[in-house]
Amino acid sequence: FYALYMRSALAKRAVTLHSSPRVLDANSTTAAVSPERFWGSYRPQVYFGMKTRSPRSVVTGLMWMRQFSAKGVNLRHTCEQGDRLRSYGWLMHDGVNFGMQQIQDTEFTLTTTFVKRMGGDHGGDWTWRITGKQHSTAPDPPVISLMFYVATDTQGSLQAHVENRTRLSHITGTSEELGNFKITFGKPTGGEASPNKYASYNYLQTLSPGLDQLTDIVKYSLSNRFVFSPSTAERRLYFAVDTYTPPPHLQKDNRIQSDFVVHQVTVQVPFQIEVLFESGSVHDRPNQLMGSVLTEELTRLKLSYNEKFEETFGLQAKGFNPAQVRFGKAALSNMLGGMGYFFGQSVVQSAYSEHPMLYPEGALFTAVPSRSFFPRGFLWDEGFHQLLISKWDPQLTREAVAHWLDLINVEGWIPREQILGDEALSKVPSEFVVQHTENANPPTFFLVLEEFLEQLEAHLDAPQFRDTLPFLRRLYPRLQTWFEWYNTTQAGPLPNSYRWRGRDKDTNLFLNPKTLTSGLDDYPRASHPSEDERHVDLHCWMVLASRIMTSMARLLGEPHQEYERTHLTLSNNSLLSELHWSEQLHAFCDYGNHTQAVSLQQEKIVVPPGQMRHQLPVKRLVRSVRKAPKLQYVNAFGYVSLFPFLLHVLTPDSQKLEHILKDIRDPARLWTPYGLRSLSLSDPIYMKRNTEHDPPYWRGAIWININYLALRALHHYSSIEGPYQEKAADLYQELRTNVINNIYKQYHETGYIWEQYSDSTGRGQGSHPFTGWSALTVLIMAEEY
Ligand code: 6A9
């Protein structure tokens, strides 16, 4: 009975939040406390949409489709790689007041702009301006339907106001956090020169069981019984929202029904159209934010954005040409425009619970790695994101870090992948949903904290850093538990060694069982996961963590001796070498139960007599082990081997540093004209698939987060005295040029920033747009480390 009781108590702790006062007050994101950041493009998963930073926000958005296309109806709404847009992304976005995005569809370009204006008690007003232009001067410019929508999420209500039977002139509404509001739909114009533009109008007013259903509702409501007739000579049937009856499988959805209103405008390019949101609490509006007033405001905002960008990153001063500077602005803007506000519950599995449990409800304000493929928060990605954001707007960073740390449980664990709310959940295959409480992810927030400590040191009195110290104070108890969690749950077999938990269990199915928790997924580790393993990257993360904990404790006047002791021990280069230096490989690496003699082979199936071949199960690839594993160093050379250098653990006079610098520059190992590849060209697992369905990921490709760390380290070792100072400086210049040139070139050619880059051609690959850590290029261009 006692054991059972203990198990259930421990299981419960997994879903119990940390008990220290939250970093964020309960009302910190409300319109009353943070009006400037109330409304925002906090729905990075859709091409264009806005919401407020509140749990059940009213959401607004845009869908569109091309009419009269031979290819049928192509409704665009959530960012999908399958839409095969030539490119899309924010060209400018200041994270607070305005943003301008360009979307290149197959035959036309949409520009989607928002501008906010403060006033009243509910986060003020905003206006959207959408322009449509043709790519080429083909004779018959495309006709497009824009579908502007507003949806409530379990609270609030909307009323549609219709003129001339089919045109929604405006929507009025009310919700808990917005009070009364009005959304006005302007008529399209053909630009300054032609104020009158033919358009057809339709609308839909219905109910939705959840925000994840909006696309389908619109799709199911379409019919092509409507006539587009700009002149008497021309009459064509087009698709428009009509009436909506839920299909049988959706009739069973018994969630609360919420208002959903769609305004459809069908118009031929070129056009310009505006939508105004006006808060009922603004009484002293000098004018409406539209037309020439909006144009003027936009000009002002763009100007100050450009000035701030140059002030912050100085790309022009460094000699980058205007196109490169525009690229830098787009990278930063997509990071900022990729920030989302999510609310919901993670599904977590503890070792002590039989079934997955629901984590407490929580909010997360975070940037996302990729708006199309994974538009949600990832723990170690976020540390990298905030390195860039903190240079632009430290307040945004404090809020993001605070949200993440407020999700920590009483044990000190933070779910790695945050799938919060129905919309987020609808994008994730079920096998990836559950988060395991024994699993870590690199604690990259310590890099951000280091940045804060440096900012404080350099400009203690500057107004934008005034809030940093009280912020760190509130964060501190949570960081202590977080640090302790890594230090205990991820401890390795030897004193002062560390081991990632949660490696793949089904060893026989993989060429090398993955270590998702390390962030480096399929990067080769010990072939046979065991408790004897020790991981050098995690060791180095702990060096960083203990160093920052020491500095923070000092700064806050808290006891620091314990952290300092840990840091002195872990950073001791001889200990590190004892644990991780392989004389055979002449490099740092993991240790564990390992053999290199593995390969994937067709499963051997014995045909029972009398059975026909075609009745047999399909053959799989399985792992064959030609030589038994033994305890030894895992002689793989790649990103993991670089960590003592990447995180500045090596002393500048270390001979091992010399080895690393040499190996980095070696084209037969990590060096390419496009950046450092993840795994040595000469490694047996280089570019090998892990299973028949699992192509190589961190087995050769160039990743920008690690290249950023490498450049940061080269910069570090080139600026402190030591025998390899000059060598580091040379490598720094060369690597920096290679990385910048390639990402820029790829962006120019493909319209996107990518998840990773091919080490053989430099081509962007994987998910796109990926303006999470790949956007660190801006810091590399600016040489801000
Ligand atoms: C699977 C697919 C529509 C993998 O950038 C986020 C993470 C990194 O933290 C990690 O280091 N990415 C890297 O190795 C992407 C992970 C995506 C998992 C989602 C579901 C959704 O299908």
Token pair 């430099």 is at which residue? 762
Q: 369 C-alpha to center of ligand 1: Å?
A: 8
Which amino acid makes up residue 475?
L
80, 81, 83, 378: which to mutate for ligand 1, most atoms within 8 A of CB? 378
Question: What's the average model confidence in pLDDT over 551-571?
Answer: 97
C-alpha gyration radius of the chain: 28
> What's the pLDDT score for residue 745?
98
Q: Which residues of 645-663 are buried (b: 16+ CB within 10 A; e: fewer)?
A: bbbbbbebebebbebbbeb
pLDDT at 466 over 70: yes
Which protein residue's CA is at the shortest distance from atom 21 of ligand 1? 428
Concatenating the DSSP letter of every residue in 653-694 gives T-HHHHHHHHHHT-TTTTEEBTEEBSB-TTSTTTT--SBTTB
Taking only the tens place, the pLDDT of each residue in 710-760 is 999 999 999 999 999 999 999 999 999 999 999 999 999 999 999 999 999
Q: Specify the ligand 1 atom closest to the Cα of 773.
A: 5
Which protein residue's CA is at the shortest distance from atom 2 of ligand 1? 428
> What's the pLDDT score for residue 462?
78
Question: What's the average model confidence in pLDDT over 593-600?
Answer: 95
Cα 684 to Cα 674: distance, rounded to the nearest angstrom? 22
Q: Specify the ligand 1 atom closest to the Cα of 519.
A: 11
pLDDT at 615 over 70: no
136 Cβ contact list (under 8 Å, min separation 6): none
Q: 310 C-alpha to center of ligand 1: Å?
A: 33
pLDDT at 613 over 70: no
pLDDT at 549 over 90: yes
The residue ranges of DSSP E strands in 140-192, in sequence order, are: 143-151, 157-163, 167-175, 179-185
> What's the pLDDT score for residue 609?
73
Q: Are 211 and 255 in contact (CB under 8 A)?
A: no
Q: Specify the ligand 1 atom closest to the Cα of 427.
A: 3
Average pLDDT, the chain: 95
Cα 532 to Cα 154: distance, rounded to the nearest angstrom? 51
Cα 705 to Cα 698: distance, rounded to the nearest angstrom? 12
> What's the pLDDT score for residue 459?
78
With pLDDT > 70 as the criterion, what percentage of the chain qualifies? 99
More confident residue, 618 or 225: 225
Question: What's the average model confidence in pLDDT over 14-31?
Answer: 96
Taking only the tens place, the pLDDT of each residue in 54-105 is 999 999 999 999 999 888 889 999 999 999 999 999 999 999 999 999 999 9
Which protein residue's CA is at the shortest distance from atom 16 of ligand 1? 374
45, 80, 374: which to mutate for ligand 1, most atoms within 8 A of CB? 374
Q: 121 C-alpha to center of ligand 1: Å?
A: 39
Of 144-148, 232-236, 492-496, which range is least confident?
A: 232-236
Taking only the tens place, the pLDDT of each residue in 405-457 is 999 999 999 999 999 999 999 999 988 999 999 999 999 999 999 999 999 88
> What's the pLDDT score for residue 460?
67
Concatenating the DSSP letter of every residue in 363-429 gives EEEE--SBTTTB-SEEHHHHHHHHHHHHHH-HHHHHHHHHHHHTT-BTTS---SEE--SHHHHTTS-
3-state secondary structure of 283: coil
Question: What's the average model confidence in pLDDT over 376-393?
Answer: 98
Token pair 């170690």 is at which residue? 380
Question: pTM for this one?
Answer: 0.97
Which protein residue's CA is at the shortest distance from atom 19 of ligand 1? 374
Of 92-106, 208-222, 240-254, which range is least confident?
A: 240-254
Which protein residue's CA is at the shortest distance from atom 11 of ligand 1? 519
> What's the pLDDT score for residue 606?
72
Taking only the tens place, the pLDDT of each residue in 482-524 is 999 999 999 999 999 999 999 998 788 899 999 999 999 999 9
Which protein residue's CA is at the shortest distance from atom 10 of ligand 1? 519
> What's the pLDDT score for residue 507?
81
Q: Hey, what are 779's tokens?
A: 């810091």
Q: 88 C-alpha to center of ligand 1: Å?
A: 21
Taking only the tens place, the pLDDT of each residue in 641-684 is 999 999 999 999 999 999 999 999 999 999 999 999 999 999 99
Residue 323 CB: number of other CB atoms within 10 A? 11
Nearest Cα residue to 638 out of 590, 603, 569: 590
pLDDT at 387 over 90: yes
Token pair 């939705």 is at which residue? 208
Q: Specify the ligand 1 atom closest to the Cα of 516.
A: 14
> What's the pLDDT score for residue 458?
85
Q: 519 C-alpha to center of ligand 1: Å?
A: 9
Question: What's the average model confidence in pLDDT over 692-698?
Answer: 95
Of 36-50, 138-152, 761-775, which range is least confident?
A: 138-152
Residue 109 CB: number of other CB atoms within 10 A? 18
Cα 670 to Cα 161: distance, rounded to the nearest angstrom? 63
pLDDT at 554 over 90: yes
Q: Specify the ligand 1 atom closest to the Cα of 369.
A: 5
Q: 621 C-alpha to center of ligand 1: Å?
A: 24
With pLDDT > 90 as the criterion, what percentage of the chain qualifies? 89
538 Cβ contact list (under 8 Å, min separation 6): 440, 442, 490, 498, 499, 500, 518
Nearest Cα residue to 599 out of 693, 503, 685, 686: 685
Q: 516 C-alpha to center of ligand 1: Å?
A: 9
More confident residue, 478 or 248: 478
pLDDT band at 612 (very low <50, low <70, confident <90, very high): low
79, 373, 434: which to mutate for ligand 1, most atoms within 8 A of CB? 373
Taking only the tens place, the pLDDT of each residue in 521-545 is 999 999 999 999 999 999 999 999 9
pLDDT band at 26 (very low <50, low <70, confident <90, very high): very high
Active site residues: 521, 755
Residues with a CB atom less than 6 Å from ligand 1: 369, 373-374, 378, 380-381, 427-429, 432, 519, 521, 772
Of 199-203, 315-319, 492-496, 605-609, which range is least confident?
A: 605-609
Which protein residue's CA is at the shortest distance from atom 18 of ligand 1? 374
ipTM score? 0.97
Q: Residue 551 belongs to what H/E stretch? A: helix 536-556
More confident residue, 56 or 4: 56
| 3-state per-residue secondary structure call for 96-119 | CCEEEEEEECCCEEEEEEEEEECC
